[in-house]
């Protein structure tokens, strides 16, 4: 099935473009997936759904450390899932079933898996309440929903730089922040709203410094869809100006920025 048949947004097309370089550009995501999985309670996790699975970081953690043997991966980007499919070929003992789909209408049967996991994708889901309700629907009673997402404050220094730019950058580049990030309290409320019992909700704030080129490369990898309405040369010109502004705001080690990881582990009542 194609992404168009599912009506999944431009986000998937953006990640199609990033798929080949994704693994290296966001190596931190692999560590985040490990920390989320470590935070899940002991239990039977033979069958899972990985929502916004991308190249499979969360699934591989579940396979290696929680005995998962059946994975349904759902993602808006076929190209990201191709990377996942190729990596899974070395594991004939694991059934990996990858499906193009939207987080707010998961192509997964009711109560058919032991856990729903989702790493570094939830912030891109436009309807977060629907996505959590869908994850809750797919897990069996007593099953676990575990989400890692970007929390409020992530890249706040970038937002400050962009807000000070004149002429301004495209409104989508600054406006997106409010839509994507949540904090621990908001996540708690979302879990409860989906009928889930929160077990642990926590955040970690990291302060990182990166050369501007590397920082811009990460933005391009994870957020190119925010420029999909612009002619490519116009997007490139805005990107060049942003790079210059970030360089001007940088110290000797590069651009310093915050990265907030928000973790949530919850249970579907038995």
Ligand X SMILES: C[S@@+](CC[C@H](N)C(=O)[O-])C[C@H]1O[C@@H](n2cnc3c(N)ncnc32)[C@H](O)[C@@H]1O
The residues binding ligand X (CB under 6 A) are 8, 11-12, 15, 26, 29, 33, 52-54, 57-58, 74-77, 80, 102-103, 119-121, 124-125, 222
Q: Which is nearer to ligand X, 33 or 212 (CB)?
A: 33
Q: Structure tokens of 21?
A: 């370089």
Residue nearest to ligand X (CB): 54
* 255-267: strand order across its sheet: 95-100, 70-75, 47-51, 113-119, 139-150, 255-267, 197-210
C-alpha to C-alpha distances, 203 to 12, 30, 32, 213, nearest whole angstrom: 26, 16, 11, 27
**Least distance CB 29 / ligand X (angstroms):** 4
Q: Which is nearer to ligand X, 29 or 255 (CB)?
A: 29
**Least distance CB 16 / ligand X (angstroms):** 8
Q: Which is nearer to ligand X, 222 or 245 (CB)?
A: 222
Q: Which is nearer to ligand X, 35 or 70 (CB)?
A: 35
- CA separation for the pair 131, 39 (Å, rounded): 21
Q: Yes or no: say if 53 and 74 are a contact pair by the CB < 8 Å rule.
A: yes
- CA separation for the pair 213, 125 (Å, rounded): 27
**Least distance CB 221 / ligand X (angstroms):** 8
**Least distance CB 8 / ligand X (angstroms):** 6
**Least distance CB 156 / ligand X (angstroms):** 19
- CA separation for the pair 2, 240 (Å, rounded): 33
Helices (DSSP H) in 8-107: which residue ranges?
A: 10-25, 27-38, 57-66, 78-88
Q: Which is nearer to ligand X, 245 or 266 (CB)?
A: 266
């Amino acid at each position: 099935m194609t992404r168009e048949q599912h009506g999944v947004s431009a986000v998937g097309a953006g990640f199609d473009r990033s798929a080949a370089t994704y693994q290296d550009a966001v190596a931190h995501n692999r560590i985040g997936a490990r920390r989320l999985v470590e935070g899940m309670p002991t239990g039977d996790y033979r069958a899972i759904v990985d929502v916004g699975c991308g190249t499979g970081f969360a699934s591989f953690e579940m396979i290696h450390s929680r005995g998962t043997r059946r994975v349904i991966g759902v993602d808006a980007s076929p190209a990201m899932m191709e990377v996942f499919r190729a990596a899974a070929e070395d594991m004939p003992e694991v059934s990996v079933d990858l499906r193009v789909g939207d987080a707010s209408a998961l192509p997964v049967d009711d109560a058919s898996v032991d856990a729903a996991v989702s790493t570094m994708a939830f912030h891109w889901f436009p309807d977060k309440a629907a996505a959590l309700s869908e994850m809750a629907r797919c897990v069996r009673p007593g099953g676990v929903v575990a989400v890692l997402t970007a929390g409020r404050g992530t890249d706040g220094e970038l937002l400050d730089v962009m807000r000070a730019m004149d002429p301004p950058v495209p409104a989508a580049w600054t406006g997106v922040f409010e839509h994507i990030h949540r904090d621990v309290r908001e996540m708690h409320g979302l879990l409860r709203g989906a009928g889930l019992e929160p077990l642990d909700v926590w955040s970690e704030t990291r302060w990182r410094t990166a050369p501007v080129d590397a920082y811009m490369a990460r933005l391009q990898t994870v957020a190119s869809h925010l420029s999909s309405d612009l002619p490519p040369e116009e997007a490139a010109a805005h990107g060049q100006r942003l790079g210059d502004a970030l360089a001007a705001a940088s110290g000797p080690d590069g651009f310093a920025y915050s990265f907030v990881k928000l973790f949530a582990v919850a249970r579907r009542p038995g």
